[in-house]
Amino acid sequence: MPAEIESFASLREEAWHKLGTVFSKPVTADELMELANLNGWNVRCIEIDAPDFNMNGQKYYFVVRDNHQTGEVDVLSTAGQRYTPFQNESLFYMGHDLQQAGLGRWETAGSLKSGRVVFGSLSIDREVVLDPTGANDVIKNYLILAASHDGTLSVTAANTPVRAVCANTLNFALAGAAQKFAFRHTESAESKAQYVAKAMRDAHGYIDKFEAVANGLINKKISDKVFNDILLAAYPKPAEKEEGKGNRAMTMWTKKFDTLNDLRTAPTNAMWDGTAWGALQVLTEDLDWFRTGRGDNAEENLNAARAGFDPAVNATRNKFLSIVTEVAGV
Residue 88 · residue 14 · CB < 8 Å: no
pLDDT of residue 220: 97
The answer to whether residue 248 sits within a structural domain is yes
Q: Is the pTM of this model over 0.85?
A: no
The answer to whether residue 223 sits within a structural domain is yes
The answer to whether residue 159 sits within a structural domain is no
The answer to whether residue 281 sits within a structural domain is yes
The answer to whether residue 249 sits within a structural domain is yes
The answer to whether residue 224 sits within a structural domain is yes
Cα distance between residue 139 and residue 210, in whole Å: 10
pLDDT in tens, 222-231: 999 999 999 9
The answer to whether residue 303 sits within a structural domain is yes
The answer to whether residue 190 sits within a structural domain is no
3-state secondary structure 90-116: HHHHHHHHHHHCCCEEEEEEEEEHHHC
Q: Which residue type does 216 have?
A: G
Number of domains comprising the chain: 1
Per-residue pLDDT of the chain in tens (330 residues, 90 and over written 9)? 334 445 555 554 454 555 555 566 788 889 889 888 899 999 999 988 876 665 666 788 999 999 998 999 999 999 888 888 889 998 888 888 888 888 888 888 888 888 888 988 888 888 899 988 888 999 989 888 888 898 887 788 888 888 887 777 788 888 877 788 777 655 566 676 777 778 888 888 999 999 999 999 999 999 999 999 999 999 999 887 655 556 788 889 999 999 999 999 999 999 999 999 999 999 999 998 887 666 666 666 666 666 676 778 888 999 999 999 999 998
The residue segments making up the domain with residue 303 are 217-328
Cα distance between residue 302 and residue 247, in whole Å: 27
